[in-house]
Structure 1
Amino acid sequence: MKTILIVDDEEKIREVVASYLQMEGYPTIQSGTGQQALELVRGGNVDLLILDLMLPDMSGEDVCKAIRQFSPVPVIMLTAKVSEDDRVQGLTLGADDYVVKPFSPRELTARVKAILRRTQEDTLLAEIIAFHNDDLVIWPQKHEVYKIGKRISLTPNEYKLLLILAHHPNRTFTREDLVEKVLGFDFEGDNRSIDQHVKNLRQKIEADPRKPQYIVTVFSVGYRFTGGESS
């Protein structure tokens, strides 16, 4: 079973969240600081991270940013910040979901299950896909992506988005299509949230994100992957 790391400086919140997750069969680990959370993720035994943004030693944003330097582990941000700018910033840093306090533990548990379902290994089994003379290479069986021979770190949602688009070159996907396929049919946010994931992905795979050669915008509709596969 997947192990969930709960990071919050309030022990009562950690205990409540842990109890709901454990009732669903998920082993949990708890941490009250950002530094300890980083050490636990580096240990490699964490499958999903629930991360509060207000921590005593460092901000949750900094924790998420640091994790994205070495791990694609899914991150759900847990916070009292409610503005759209805060949500966009969280997604920009690599979070996979954003839950605002006060929250329903049942809803949080449902979001955990949805994210883990989307990242199951059986969705990743496919042959290696290469584009533009190996400029961009996707290795699904290893869950790895390479740009000009160098491995790049993608969040689970970024990887899922890239895989969906790359498997259907030249097909136009609406934002609604991508939200359902990447974020899940139960996602309750704005469809425009997919734009932030596309922006993040372009920063990592495009030579010039302002003039993308792989993921192009289809005005008023959505996006299309245009990379020609290498022979």
Structure 2
Amino acid sequence: MTRVLVVEDDPQLVRALVINLQARHYGVDAAPDGATGLRLAAARAPDVILLDLGLPDMDGVDAIRSLRRWSTVPILVLSARQASGEKVAALEAGADDYVTKPFSMNELLARLRAAVRRAANDPSLPEPEVIETDEFSINLSAKRVVRQGQDVRLTPTEWHLLEILVSNPGRLVTRKHLLEEVWGFSQTGKTNYLRVYMAQLRRKLEADPSHPRYLITEPGMGYRFEG
């Protein structure tokens, strides 16, 4: 049974989460504050954590940092904070995903399942060298992209950007991380670099670049590859 730890101080939301999770055969523990959540995380070894940022005894980002000192458990943030800076801080502290309140229960459960699936992959196994989609295939070792039977010519920068995204399937990669990895800087004023190169990748890979299926923008935060 997959175990979920809910760290949230809103009793009504906790009750709704517990009911919905238990109805889908998850085991659920709940903590009303950060200190209790950290203790339960150590004692109960959950498979995934749902964590509010606005905890009564500590900031949720600090709780994430504490967890990441010893655990790789997937952490999904639940928060009413909508500023992009808050989201980026949580993701860079080690959160795996960020869901803004109010949220659809179906969306939350889908993201929870995706986080559990990613964590279930054995990290000792080699990463797949070839990534297949309905539109194109990417051979990471050969640095080759094929679409509809034809090689797609990518610039070194386009390839580096694509390689980072496809190596983190389903995970949000922040703008700051991409700027640091690809260009070596993180100034927010340089986000136009990302927009330009993502637009170029979409023109080369997506069937409808204006409505991308694979290279997804998370407004104010970063990008995600959905295989």
TM-score w.r.t. the length of structure 1 is 0.60
**Higher mean displacement: 41-50 or 169-178:** 169-178
- CA spacing shift, 1:196–1:91, aligned 2, 3 Å: farther
Q: SS at the partner of 2:168?
A: helix
Distance in 2 separating the partners of 1:87 and 1:18: 25
**Deviation at residue 40 of structure 1 after TM alignment:** 1.2
Corresponding residue of 2:134: none
Confirm or deny: 8 A CA contact 1:50 1:76 kept in the other structure: yes
Distance in 2 separating the partners of 1:23 and 1:177: 39
| Gap runs ≥5 in structure 2 | 128-138, 144-155, 186-193, 202-227
Q: Where do residues 115-126 of structure 1 align in structure 2 (5 Å cutoff)?
A: 115-122=115-122, 124-126=124-126
| Gap runs ≥5 in structure 1 | 128-166, 203-208, 211-217, 223-231
Deviations for 1:92-146, whole angstroms, at most 9, x for unmatched residues?
Answer: 111100011111111111100011111213464349xxxxxxxxxxxxxxxxxxx
Amino acid at match of 2:197: S
Confirm or deny: 8 A CA contact 2:50 2:77 kept in the other structure: yes
**Deviation at residue 62 of structure 1 after TM alignment:** 0.9
Amino acid at match of 1:89: A
Distance in 2 separating the partners of 1:179 and 1:93: 19
Higher relative contact order (CA 8 A, sep 6+): 1
- CA spacing shift, 1:36–1:199, aligned 2, 3 Å: farther
Q: Where do residues 69-218 of structure 1 align in structure 2 (5 Å cutoff)?
A: 69-122=69-122, 124-126=124-126, 168=140, 171=143, 173=159, 175=161, 178-179=164-165, 182-184=168-170, 193-196=173-176
- CA spacing shift, 1:59–1:118, aligned 2, 3 Å: same
Corresponding residue of 2:42: 42
Distance in 2 separating the partners of 1:35 and 1:123: 29
Distance in 1 separating the partners of 2:53 and 2:76: 10
Distance in 1 separating the partners of 2:3 and 2:92: 25
Distance in 1 separating the partners of 2:19 and 2:176: 33
Corresponding residue of 2:67: 67
Deviations for 1:168-214, whole angstroms, at most 9, x for unmatched residues?
Answer: 45737465665465242xx7x7xxx34445689x7xxxxxx87xxxx
Amino acid at match of 1:220: Y
**Deviation at residue 15 of structure 1 after TM alignment:** 1.3
> Which of the two has higher C-alpha Rg?
2
- CA spacing shift, 1:178–1:40, aligned 2, 3 Å: same
Aligned length: 164
TM-score w.r.t. the length of structure 2 is 0.61
**Deviation at residue 220 of structure 1 after TM alignment:** 3.5
